[in-house]
Amino acid sequence: MAIKELAEYLVKSLADHPEKVELAEREEDDTVVIELKISPDDLGKIIGKSGNTINAIRTVLQTAASSHKKRARLEVAGQGDLPFDENVDTETDQ
């Protein structure tokens, strides 16, 4: 199973609106980059509490890619290409 199809299967299995899941795949050197666009209603469900769900999906994709001697990176639209924890604005203006 290709990395994109694996990502699509995992995300659509979790999403309330699987018909709105869009994935694009591109390669950069030895890295497969998967860009994920989902319904805003599903964003919280896919990311999960403290990013646990999206990080678990990323771990599965990375493990699958390593069997092909590649790396995998999953980017969520609007989140950039940083790991989830680095995309959360933890500063508060007081």
How far is Cα 65 from Cα 43, in angstroms, rounded to an integer? 24
pTM here is 0.76
Expressed in angstroms, the distance from the first to the final Cα of the chain is 49
CATH of 3-86, one of 3.40.50.970, 3.30.300.20, 1.10.8.60, 3.40.50.880: 3.30.300.20
In this predicted structure, what is the pLDDT of residue 60? 95
Q: Which two tokens stand for residue 9?
A: 């299967």
In this predicted structure, what is the pLDDT of residue 14? 93
Sheet with 71-76, strands from edge to edge, namely 22-28, 31-37, 71-76
Per-residue pLDDT for the chain (94 aa), expressed as one digit of tens each? 589 999 999 999 999 999 999 999 999 989 999 999 998 888 999 999 999 999 999 999 999 999 989 999 999 886 544 444 444 444 444 4
